Chains A and B, each alone.
Chain A
């Protein structure tokens, strides 16, 4: 097994972990964290795929940098919505999932 395969499989496992957290977590901030983990795993998988052959390919790298910045701005908006929702309802879970 090469190092690239190792990073790709790590990325694949991160995507699975993130997906589990996104579905299973109840606290919405934890869901946003899990979503970031999922995206990060996807970047790692793509980056490992782009690094095969001779040396890293700049095109996936540029896409990943774009993706990291967009992930932050989407997270900031999601956090803003979450705080606004918690201000109205007093909790950080979805109403249908309240125990």
Chain B
């Protein structure tokens, strides 16, 4: 019975993905991609990876969908929203089919992995948290996560560099016009308080249960986006000092915790068990704030409105 569920889910995922690639119209492709993200999130739950499912639902379906829809709107303003007809491409089809077949073959030839079992079970109590995924993200593989938070900053820097000179100093994103009694204004009043609660809970619970800085931070970013799109709050001006501080808080706290590990003799980014719990909580809170602000700014995009000086 559960196998039938998995089979139907996989068929749905593939069907929606095929519609994303082969359907007509850019807008339709984006809508199918959002549906695809939600279906894949269900797939992750079926694979037992609830942390990934939360990230996929919030980022893959949520923020990426908003990003693409906003991009479609911006391209329409530039007169480039129309779909460019793409004729069937035989070499591309051969390449895609070849890669799929090679991966299918590789799956049957893949050796079974060594189970993390005893090593992870021994190391987990010293990591400072109980959720093994959070332990891996923030402690055992801290380098990856620290550099990832820097990648986010680098992407935002690159995006802001694309701002037109005439718009520099303006409020980030497109100016929003919302009907005061419309659906979006209603959403803007109802959703942010609920989202705030869920986001903070996800950050807080991440130490012991599925959740954490990434999932919670993404939900908080979505709260900011909904509030901004509904006109409930105005996005900050590009380069405002306080918001810049929020952007770097996560990587900074992460680095300081890493240096504290070095000062205590355990080595850079190696947290000794006596401070691990407190350090991971501080990192998680700061990182969630930075991720929320960075992702929201990334999705809103550079300022568009020309400033009159």
Identify which of residues 80-112 in chain B touch chain A, using a CB-to-CB cut-off of 8 Å: 80-81, 83-89, 91-93, 95-100, 103-104, 107, 110, 112
Given A10-B13, A27-B83, A59-B116 contact (CB < 8 Å): yes
Inter-chain CA distance A62–B100, complex, in Å, is 25
Contacts of B17 in A (CB 8 A): 13-14, 17-18, 37, 41
Tell me whether B20 and A37 are in contact (CB under 8 A).
Answer: yes
Contacts of A9 in B (CB 8 A): 10, 104, 107
Inter-chain CA distance A33–B162, complex, in Å, is 21
Per-residue CB contact flags for chain B residues 210-250 toward chain A (1 = under 8 Å, else 0) read: 00001100100000000000000000000000000000000
Per-residue CB contact flags for chain B residues 129-150 toward chain A (1 = under 8 Å, else 0) read: 0001101110011001100100
How many whole Å from B25's CB to the nearest CB in chain A?
9
Question: Total interface residues on A, using CB and 8 Å?
Answer: 79
Question: Looking at the complex, which one of B18, B29, B48, B78 makes contact with A51 (CB distance below 8 Å)?
Answer: B48
Question: Looking at the complex, which one of A10, A50, A58, A77 makes contact with B10 (CB distance below 8 Å)?
Answer: A10
Tell me whether B95 and A19 are in contact (CB under 8 A).
Answer: yes
Question: Looking at the complex, which one of B48, B74, B100, B148 makes contact with A69 (CB distance below 8 Å)?
Answer: B148
Tell me whether B107 and A36 are in contact (CB under 8 A).
Answer: no
Inter-chain CA distance A72–B10, complex, in Å, is 23
Contacts of B132 in A (CB 8 A): 58
Given A29-B71, A62-B137, A69-B59, A50-B144 contact (CB < 8 Å): no
Q: Main secondary structure on chain A at its contact with chain B?
A: helix
Question: Looking at the complex, which one of B10, B75, B78, B158 makes contact with A6 (CB distance below 8 Å)?
Answer: B10
Tell me whether B89 and A20 are in contact (CB under 8 A).
Answer: yes
Tell me whether B67 and A47 are in contact (CB under 8 A).
Answer: no
Given A7-B43, A68-B60, A73-B152, A37-B137 contact (CB < 8 Å): no
B68 within 8 A of A: yes
Tell me whether B89 and A69 are in contact (CB under 8 A).
Answer: no
Given A14-B14, A65-B55, A45-B26 contact (CB < 8 Å): no
Tell me whether B75 and A92 are in contact (CB under 8 A).
Answer: yes
Given A48-B47, A73-B151, A79-B67, A59-B93 contact (CB < 8 Å): no
Contacts of A73 in B (CB 8 A): 151-152, 155-156, 294-295, 298
The 10 closest A-B pairs by CB, nearest first: A16-B100, A26-B84, A24-B89, A23-B92, A73-B155, A12-B103, A16-B96, A20-B96, A58-B132, A76-B298
